[in-house]
Amino acid sequence: MKTLFHGSRVKVEYPEIRIQKYHKDFYWGFYCTELERQAVRWATKFDRAGVVNIYSFDDEAELSIKRFPEMSDEWLNFIAACRSGKPHSYDVVEGPMADDTVFNYVQSFLDGEISKAAFWELVKFKYPTHQISFHTARALAALKFEGSYIANV
């Protein structure tokens, strides 16, 4: 079992996969992290109090899981495909996050403005991040809501 956190404006006892205007790093899904401080940043990103939701995840469940232990060419290509609207067949995807700064570099790579080598040079000093995204009802069923708390700015 893993403990995961999800930062939001509201308590999320029953997670959902929401289709939104823009594709995220690992496509549409419900995103969590192992890093509580990162979930606090997500919850308070609009300079107001938010909610950190806590879940246990049965990572031994029979799920199709794609794991990226670190930023790599495979990770970059996967994010580029997902952000371009190409879906995948995994129940769960886990790996580093392309935060706002890293995403700008990803976008520059996608637009052909920088090379892959330049991308890696720009991101090599970024602080560690983590995300795990749930893409199917089977995946969401492996999450158990444990509680939540208010996070202040």
pLDDT tens, 125-140?
A: 666 788 999 999 999 9
Give me the residues of the chain with pLDDT under 70, please.
Answer: 99-100, 124-127
- Number of separate domains in the chain: 1
Whether 119 is in a domain gets the answer no
Q: Which residues span the domain enclosing 15?
A: 2-99+129-151
Whether 104 is in a domain gets the answer no
Whether 14 is in a domain gets the answer yes
Q: What is the pLDDT of residue 126?
A: 64
Whether 15 is in a domain gets the answer yes
pTM given for the model: 0.84
Q: What is the pLDDT of residue 125?
A: 62
Whether 108 is in a domain gets the answer no
The three-state secondary structure class of 32 is: strand
Q: Give the residues across from 95 on adjacent strands.
A: 131
Whether 116 is in a domain gets the answer no
Whether 112 is in a domain gets the answer no
Whether 146 is in a domain gets the answer yes
Q: What is the pLDDT of residue 100?
A: 66
